[in-house]
């Protein structure tokens, strides 16, 4: 038996998953997919409307633990095998022959390519090792998973081709999720731990006592909503999508029940006020039970009720286990109630699969719950299947609708793009913010290092410029980018930066962020924080902003960045790390480009407090231009620039030493013409954050 298949294009970002994909019925053993024609696969490589890619996508069922599935032609094969012993980074695609990408569609799968006989072709195979820890498949309850084989016309477009497939297949909305997050705006266990208490031999009892009364409650939540809504929505016409209530809404001496003294009507009144400003309600839930003394209280209560636990290596203590049937059902039912009864439009699932032995079972349970949340009215009983698949079971709505629930799966994930077949965003990794004093204070004067005031080492105010020329907030911006570079960019080339959670804009009134001085800012470093966030292309736009500390100017800065990001969301979805090792304090660049509209953006950041030159670069490499656009000239215009000029120098927020004649002053519309092959090595001022738009001279924008 043989058959020929054309690799069909996946279409634009707003297309329904699978709508334009070729989905083949797969036999249990062998399915020939592509026939040989003069040693070249028979495939239609014409670019579709929105991306230069085509992909073949299919799913299969295993009813026996040792089954294999082959996707092959007469000269080689792509083999998928369950229970294959493998050791590699999980959930990444591979590129073969500089022409194809291949992958098993699961964050715990591994795809490999091994050189064999012949001029180019590689033997590629995918293993799903984690299934050996699950219940064995049967005819009634089989395993289910999918694979994808995609093609691209040129190597420069490999990443873009994969992302076109991914965005076409993944569920969920396609517009930014701009939301207030309460984490640094109410009392929590952090106030005891970072401002004194169990981590400080001389706790600041006066400060701690002043923080304790500010607990999350219905009335205080409504106050935050009104403050945000009036300043952002009413005064500045900036859309807010949700208000997310982080750790602090529940009674920790229960299992995910509201504290009825503080929330007598659950979130009903809170949600009503959010709707007044066109926003929804989001909620934090932690599969393993949370953190700190509230986590300990939840687990203590849960164990008495028979809910399963295990040792959690992430928090180094006992936590709940989604591998346990009783807790798995209780957690699933809690999430479903929030979706059905409270109309929640955003979930932050914080802390999953912290025990290596039970990781697979816990993660599969989490993914099944997410799939059910996308179809709350028609989902099957949570424990009825061991399916590993989400595609085709996430509801009938078109992806991209504004009311789609946003799923943010945080601690416990890794940068596999296939998490996005379930969730909308995942955590960048690492702690919330830096934890080492040197990351906040920079180098200290000898006198400060030796001085002790009231039993404490003397440290400079973090809102003042230090010996390195930076404020504490500017060091936080650098640290945040460094974590993204090390834990995501260097580990997962094809993961879209747009779908990361990185801890966005912070103006804190509580917690470790308050301890490290992120309640203070000036116009320069706050502008840098906002634009270093939105210009990365992030669609999950987290505002850990305490309204009490904001000024009219700060609200203006925040609104400007958010509105720019929403207008340009489709282009920014292509954001990728172009160059620069921020861990070595190099000037770095993040770029995005829309091939069809010939428009893109460049974001530069100098992480040092002194002027620094970037590495030499040209537009064709930075923007990853396809061959057809590599001979063009482009118009470059400044969008935003913020840095501290030398005290004796003029204030010119511009692209310093840019290779063009335009003098970018403020947000002037001056522009320069730039050939795509022209090398540039701009000099960036201390702490400079700059965003520029790039477009073909024949394209006009508003």
Does the predicted model carry a pTM greater than 0.85?
A: yes
Q: How far apart are CA 555 and CA 568, in angstroms?
A: 20
- All structural domains of the chain with their residue ranges: 30-169, 177-434+475-570, 576-695
Instruction: Please check whether residue 58 is in contact with residue 147, taking contact to mean a CB–CB distance below 8 angstroms.
Output: yes
* Whole-number pLDDT of residue 134: 79
Non-local CB neighbours of 567 within 8 Å, separated by 6+ positions: none
Q: How far apart are CA 351 and CA 288, in angstroms?
A: 6
* Sole residue written with tokens 């670019």: 47
Give the residues of the chain that fall short of pLDDT 70.
1-89, 113-123, 195-201, 377-402, 446-458, 645-675, 678-679, 681-683, 697-702
Architecture of domain 177-434+475-570: Alpha-Beta Barrel (3.20)
Give, as one character, the DSSP assignment of residue 497. Answer: G
- Residue in 574, 610, 605 with CA at minimum distance from that of residue 498: 574
Instruction: Please check whether residue 68 is in contact with residue 84, taking contact to mean a CB–CB distance below 8 angstroms.
Output: no
Tokens standing for residue 441: 């204070």
Q: What angle do CA 485, 490, 492 make, to 5 degrees?
A: 110
- Tell me the three state secondary structure of residue 439: helix
677 burial level (CB within 10 Å; 0-12, 13-18, 19+): middle
3-state secondary structure 289-344: CCCHHHHHHHHHHHHHCCCCEEEECCCCEEEECCCCHHHHHHHHHHHHHHHHHCCC
* Whole-number pLDDT of residue 255: 98
DSSP strand E in 3-132: where?
30-32, 36-37, 40-41, 54-62, 68-72, 77-82, 94-96, 100-104, 110-115, 122-128
- Tell me the three state secondary structure of residue 130: helix
Instruction: Please check whether residue 247 is in contact with residue 294, taking contact to mean a CB–CB distance below 8 angstroms.
Output: yes
* Whole-number pLDDT of residue 542: 98
Instruction: Please check whether residue 658 is in contact with residue 608, taking contact to mean a CB–CB distance below 8 angstroms.
Output: no
Q: How far apart are CA 626 and CA 412, in angstroms?
A: 36
Give, as one character, the DSSP assignment of residue 350. Answer: -
Q: How far apart are CA 680 and CA 678, in angstroms?
A: 7
Give, as one character, the DSSP assignment of residue 194. Answer: H
442: left (phi over 0), alpha (psi -120 to 50) or beta: left
230 burial level (CB within 10 Å; 0-12, 13-18, 19+): middle
Non-local CB neighbours of 655 within 8 Å, separated by 6+ positions: 638, 641, 664, 682, 690, 692
* Whole-number pLDDT of residue 59: 64
The residues pairing with 349 across neighbouring beta strands, listed in sequence order, are: 285, 409
The residues pairing with 61 across neighbouring beta strands, listed in sequence order, are: 144
624: left (phi over 0), alpha (psi -120 to 50) or beta: left
DSSP strand E in 504-547: where?
505-507, 540-545
Q: How remote is the C-alpha of 198 from its chain's centroid? A: 32
* Whole-number pLDDT of residue 553: 98
Instruction: Please check whether residue 577 is in contact with residue 485, taking contact to mean a CB–CB distance below 8 angstroms.
Output: yes
Q: What is the DSSP string of 236-290?
A: T-----EEEE-TTSB-TTSSS-B-TTT-TTTTHHHHHHHHHTT-EEEEEE-TT--
CATH class for the region spanning 576-695: mainly beta
* Whole-number pLDDT of residue 56: 65
- Residue in 391, 419, 256, 264 with CA at minimum distance from that of residue 336: 256
Which secondary structure element, helix H or strand E, spans residue 633, and what is its range? strand 633-642
- Residue in 472, 584, 602, 476 with CA at minimum distance from that of residue 536: 602
| CA distances, 296 to each of 136, 254, 303, 320 (Å) | 34, 11, 11, 10
State the angle between helix axes of 218-228 and 268-276 in degrees (0 to 180), rounded to the nearest 10.
10
Q: How far apart are CA 130 and CA 662, in angstroms?
A: 57
Q: What is the DSSP string of 537-599?
A: T-SEEEEEE-GGG--HHHHHHHHHHHHHHHHTHHHHTT-EEEE--GGGT--EEEEEEETTTTE
Q: How far apart are CA 458 and CA 117, in angstroms?
A: 67
* Whole-number pLDDT of residue 222: 99
């Amino acid at each position: 038996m043989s058959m020929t298949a054309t690799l069909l294009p996946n279409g634009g970002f707003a297309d329904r998953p699978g709508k334009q994909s070729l989905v083949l019925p797969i036999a249990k053993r062998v399915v020939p997919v592509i026939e040989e024609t003069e040693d070249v696969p028979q495939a239609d490589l014409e670019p579709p409307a929105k991306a230069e890619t085509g992909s073949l996508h299919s799913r299969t069922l295993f009813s026996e633990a040792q089954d294999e599935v082959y996707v092959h032609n007469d000269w080689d094969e792509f083999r998928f095998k369950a229970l294959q012993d493998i050791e590699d980074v999980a959930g990444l695609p591979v590129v073969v022959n500089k022409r194809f990408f291949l992958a098993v569609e699961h964050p715990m799968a591994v795809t490999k390519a091994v050189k064999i006989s012949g001029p180019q072709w590689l033997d590629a195979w995918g293993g799903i090792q984690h299934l050996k820890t699950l219940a064995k498949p049967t005819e009634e309850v089989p395993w289910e998973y999918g694979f994808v084989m995609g093609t691209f016309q040129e190597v420069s477009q490999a990443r873009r081709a994969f992302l076109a497939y991914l965005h076409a297949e993944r569920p969920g909305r396609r517009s930014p999720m701009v939301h207030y997050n309460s984490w640094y705006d109410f009392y929590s266990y952090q106030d005891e731990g970072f401002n004194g208490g169990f981590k400080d031999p001389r706790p600041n009892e006066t400060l701690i006592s002043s923080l304790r009364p500010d607990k999350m409650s219905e009335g205080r939540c409504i106050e935050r909503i009104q403050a945000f809504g009036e300043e952002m929505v009413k005064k500045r016409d900036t859309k807010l999508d949700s208000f997310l209530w982080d750790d602090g809404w529940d009674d920790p001496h229960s299992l995910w029940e509201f504290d009825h003294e503080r929330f007598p009507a659950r979130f009903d009144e809170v949600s009503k006020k959010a709707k007044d400003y066109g926003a929804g309600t989001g909620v934090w839930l932690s599969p393993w039970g949370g953190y700190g003394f509230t986590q300990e209280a939840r687990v203590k209560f849960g164990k008495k009720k028979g809910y399963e636990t295990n040792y959690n290596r992430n928090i180094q203590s006992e936590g709940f286990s989604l591998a346990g049937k009783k807790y798995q059902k209780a957690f699933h039912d809690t999430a479903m109630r929030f979706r059905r009864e409270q109309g929640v439009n955003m979930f932050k699932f914080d802390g999953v699969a912290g025990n290596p032995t039970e990781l697979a079972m816990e993660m599969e349970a989490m993914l099944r719950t997410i799939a059910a949340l996308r179809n709350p009215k028609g989902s099957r009983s949570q424990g009825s299947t061991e399916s590993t698949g989400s595609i085709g079971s996430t509801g009938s709505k078109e992806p991209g609708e504004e009311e789609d629930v946003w799923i943010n799966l945080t601690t416990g994930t890794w940068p596999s793009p296939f998490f996005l077949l379930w969730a909308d965003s995942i955590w960048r990794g690492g702690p919330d913010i830096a934890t080492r004093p040197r990351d906040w204070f920079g180098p200290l004067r000898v006198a400060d290092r030796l001085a002790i005031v009231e039993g404490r080492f003397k440290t400079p105010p973090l809102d003042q410029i230090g010996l390195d020329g930076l404020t504490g907030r500017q060091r936080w911006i650098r640290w945040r980018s460094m974590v993204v570079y090390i834990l995501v960019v260097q580990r997962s080339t094809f993961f879209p930066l747009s779908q990361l959670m990185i801890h966005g804009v912070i103006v804190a009134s509580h917690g470790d962020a308050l301890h490290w001085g992120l309640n203070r800012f000036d116009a320069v470093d706050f502008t840098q924080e906002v634009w270093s966030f939105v210009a990365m292309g992030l669609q999950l736009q987290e505002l850990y902003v305490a309204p009490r500390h904001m000024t009219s100017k700060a609200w203006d800065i925040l609104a400007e960045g958010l509105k720019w990001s929403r207008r340009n969301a489709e282009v920014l979805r292509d954001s990728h790390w172009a160059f620069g090792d921020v861990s070595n304090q190099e000037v770095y660049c993040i770029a995005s480009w829309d091939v069809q509209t010939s428009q893109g953006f460049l974001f530069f950041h100098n992480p040092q407090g002194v002027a620094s030159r970037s590495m030499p670069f040209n537009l064709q490499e930075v923007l990853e231009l396809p061959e057809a656009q590599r001979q063009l000239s482009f118009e470059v215009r400044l969008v935003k620039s913020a840095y501290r000029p030398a005290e004796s120098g003029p204030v010119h927020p511009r692209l310093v030493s840019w290779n063009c004649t335009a003098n970018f002053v403020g947000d002037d519309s001056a522009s320069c013409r730039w050939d795509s092959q022209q090398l540039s090595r701009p000099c960036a001022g201390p702490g400079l954050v700059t965003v520029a738009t790039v477009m073909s001279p024949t394209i006009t924008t508003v």
